Amino acid sequence: MRRAGFANAGQSCYVGAALQLLLHVEPLVELLAKNVDAGPITSALALLSLQHRSQRVVDPTPLILEMNKLDRDQFPLGEQQDSSEFLDWLLHRLSFECQEFADLFETVLSETVLNDSSSTLDERLENFLQDDSVESYCRTCFENKPKRKSLHVVKPASFLVINVARFQSPFRGVVTKSTMSLRMSDEISLQASKYVLKSFLYHVGANIHGGHYIAVCKEDGHWRKFNDETVTEVVDISDQLFEQNNCVLLFELLETEAVCTPSRSGEKLWTASPLKSKETPKSVFGKTGAGRRLHWGDDDTGKALNNEMAESKKDSCAIDDRVVSSNTRKLRTPLTTYEKCVLGDPDDFHYFTGLTPGEFQVLYDLLGGDEVCSRLKYVVGSNTPLNSRTIKISLKGRLFLVLVRMRRDLTLRDISFVLGLSVPLASAIFKTWVRFISITLQELEEALAVSAEKQNRDKPRCFTPYKNLRIIIDCTEFPIERSSNMQQQSNTFSDYKHGNTAKALIGISCYGGVSYVSECFEGRMSDQEIVIKSGFLKILKPGDVVMADRGFKIEEVLKKQGCKLIKPPEKKRGQTTGFTSRAEVATKSIASVRIYVEHVMGRIKDWSILANRVELLLLPYLGDMVKIAAWLHNFSKCYIGQKKPQNPTDEKKAEDNKKKEEKKKTGKNNLKVENKKKEGQHILR
């Protein structure tokens, strides 16, 4: 089947060339047909895929407009862009909208073209995977130490994308292009895996902002060149024009002998990439009947996010990340660091992190200290040249970065500028540590869910009237950006907040500490649905008492568990009169206790990143951020007062007192009437 060309809609050749590479991948086309409604980019690309097989020329404008809506700064209309960067962005976005795309592709770190005219792709890959000895500065020993860096293919992907970094920046403001030859071959070996060349892109021109992108793809055993709308046959791909200008290569997996393992078999590498639980559905918002948890990512998310870089250490010295840059500009000087802030005013430290310096140290030790934190694996972008630079930020500085961003809702650009980091590195640190902290704190969930029997011993006064009270629950909502997908808009729209939200279930013990936090769900879900689907019922035992607001219709659900529900009285249907005195006393008593879960939800939203509208790109980490904010509330002092509320057991006395007061009032009124009568009789006389 001969595929169509893509029309040039004005400096859009970079889009058409990249789309030719993707739409010649049959598994990708099948996934697009199955997941048409997964998101705006997936929907637009699925439509182009159908036209690509049925028309002679396809207009990519609908996809370009959707890209511009999502990221106007990166994809302004009518401007030429780097096709490899666009392809990388598109693969990220597809994986973001539908998890199945994440398992399909893997992007190799970009290969910088060196001044070696005889170099082949096989030789470069072999050199790329060789162990590298580097020196890194240790801030504990104050000297450079030799270290070894190695890369291993743990699980080969079905398709391999190799970016050839032709464009370099010798100094700021100037971008040059290398035309050194890089000879391609039909087959390559990547450790134990063999790949066959499927298609490639090449760039004609001397400027990244000009020139022209052309795709060469193999279909039906023949190579064809796709130059915008024009499609022609290619006899030999070893042409010098291709070898001097190739910039993106796409390979398909042929076979693999065995799975490679890290050479340091005695050390355990900690992975903190976004994970997906086995219960998470394939699509985030899915179709009707599918689970609707706001939780993205899977066990192989690193594939969709490109390569993960890791440095394992046996000593407790702080590590230096080997990060990448497309230019050779100087290291940024940080405006401040954790080490400076911790020595300053404790109130300022608490303002920016939500913790005191002592609580910060306790949290760091709880996470495992230097021994564990130094083994985290960080996700780095795909446009990574060989020459790297060292960013000096301590392990505690990374935890400091996460807490400051969550507490003050700083953008990545703000926090990277303040701490002297690149934006990609700041993003990698934030995402990795948010997931890592959440996983670590979740291990304490069972210990924090204190039983009702233990809570009955030293219960605060305001909770003493309620025996066997295990937990007080309520749902809180967090505003999120509105998705362009109509179904997602509908599923996340909250009638209560009059906007798009994510909802989480929070539970506290009688001591005021957080004892349960659920995942985030769509704002349209009812409280009863969240109680059932969140797994909250699993922590309850027969005889436990749960307190909730009157909106929780879960009496029957708790009865099946052998538990009891306490909530404020409700008016019955057709009831026109107000509450009885007994109901009023019960309402006030429950409200005086339930108010503490409202206080906790307010303290969770003291973390500004949750109080403000959450970006769509942060939704995969929203559940983790909510859990971190909730569990860190337990670091604060107990805030429950000792004032004794009205006791429900004294309701009868209160009712009797009310009747006595009414009798006194009626008696006084009768005396007034009699006195007036006597005065009138006296006047008549």
Distance CA 332, CA 483 (A): 36
What are the tokens at 524? 């349209």
Task: Read off the pLDDT of each residue in 64-84 and give the average, rounded to a whole number.
Answer: 78
With respect to residue 60, please indicate whether it lies within any of the assigned structural domains: yes
> What pLDDT is recorded for position 362?
93
Segment 232-238 shows an average pLDDT of 80
**Same domain, yes or no: 203 and 119:** yes
Mean pLDDT value across residues 148-166: 72
Do 355 and 378 lie in one domain? The reply is yes
Q: Is the pLDDT confidence value at 421 over 80? A: yes
Looking at residues 397-423, what average pLDDT do you find?
93
Residue 117 in contact with residue 134, Cβ under 8 Å?
A: no
Task: Specify whether 350 is located in the same domain as 378.
Answer: yes
pLDDT reported for residue 415: 93
Q: What is the CATH number of the domain that holds 250?
A: 3.90.70.10
pLDDT at 670: 60
Q: Which residue has the tokens 């939800």?
A: 601
Residue 516 pLDDT: 94
pLDDT band for 678, please (50, 70, 90 cuts): low
Average pLDDT of 552-573?
Answer: 87
SS (H, E, C) 339-402: HHHCCCCHHHHHHHHCCCHHHHHHHHHHCCHHHHHCCEEEECCCCCCCCEEEECCCHHHHHHHH
- Map tokens 């009712």 to a residue: 655
In a domain, 270, yes or no: no
Residue 622's pLDDT is what?
A: 94
User: Are 462 and 558 in a shared domain?
Assistant: yes
Q: Which residue has the higher pLDDT, 26 or 676?
A: 26
Is there a domain that residue 297 lies in? Answer: no
Does the pLDDT of residue 200 top 80, yes or no? yes
Residue 290 is assigned to a structural domain of this protein: no
Shared domain check, 663 and 605? no
Region 87-103 average pLDDT: 78
- 87 in the same domain as 24: yes
pLDDT above 70 as % of the chain: 69
Give pLDDT, residue 266: 36
40-54 helix and 83-97 helix, angle to the nearest 10 degrees: 110
> Strands 174-177, 187-190: parallel, antiparallel or unpaired by DSSP?
unpaired
Q: How many domains does the chain have?
A: 4
pLDDT at residue 231 above 70?
yes
pLDDT at 345 over 80: yes
97 in a domain, yes or no?
Answer: yes
Of 234, 256, 278, which residue sits at a domain end? Answer: 256
Same domain, 456 and 515: yes
For helices 13-23 and 40-54, angle between their N-to-C axes, nearest 10 degrees: 80
Q: What is the pLDDT of residues 275-316, one digit of tens each?
A: 333 333 333 333 333 333 343 333 333 333 333 333 333 332
pLDDT at 109 over 70: no
Q: Distance from CA of residue 67 to its chain's centroid? A: 20
Average pLDDT over residues 165-185: 69
CB atoms under 10 Å from CB of 463, counted, come to 22
Quote the domain boundaries for residue 672.
652-684
Last residue of a domain, one of 418, 443, 468: 443
Residue with tokens 């998310």: 301
For residue 268, being part of any structural domain is answered with no
Residue 207 domain-assigned (yes or no): yes
Give the type of residue at 488.
Answer: Q
The alpha carbon of 356 is separated from its chain's Cα centroid by a whole number of angstroms, namely: 26
Query: CA torsion angle for 620, 626, 627, 633 (degrees, to 10)?
Result: 160
pLDDT at 664 exceeding the cut of 60: yes
Q: In this structure, is residue 144 part of a structural domain?
A: no
* Mean residue pLDDT across the chain: 75
How high is the pLDDT of residue 188? Answer: 80
CATH code for the domain of 498: 3.30.420.10
Quote the pLDDT of residue 636. Answer: 82
pLDDT average, residue stretch 339-360: 92
Least confident of 96-105, 147-156, 294-303, 649-658: 294-303
Please determine, for residue 452, whether its predicted confidence score (pLDDT) is greater than 80: yes
| End-to-end CA separation in angstroms for the chain | 122
Residues 435 and 456 in one domain: no
* Class of residue 611 by CB neighbours under 10 A (exposed 0-12, middle 13-18, buried 19+): middle
570 with 622, same domain: the answer is yes
3-class DSSP assignment, residue 26: helix
Put simply, whether the predicted model's pTM sits higher than 0.75 gets the answer: no
375 or 654: which leads in pLDDT? 375
Q: Which of 17, 209, 23, 249 is nearest to 122 (CA)?
A: 249
Q: How far is Cα 537 from Cα 541, in angstroms, rounded to an integer? A: 9
Q: Residue 350 phi/psi, 5° resolution?
A: -65, -35
- Whether 360 and 325 map to the same domain: the answer is yes
Calculate mean pLDDT across residues 105-121.
51
Last residue of a domain, one of 424, 443, 462: 443
Q: Are residues 129 and 235 in the same domain?
A: yes
Answer yes or no: is pLDDT of 127 > 80: no
Whether 62 and 114 share a structural domain = yes
Confidence of residue 249 (pLDDT cuts 50, 70, 90): confident
Asked whether residue 437 carries a pLDDT value surpassing 60, the answer given is yes
State how far the Cα of 565 lies from the Cα of 52, in Å rounded to an integer: 59
* Mean pLDDT value across residues 219-240: 82
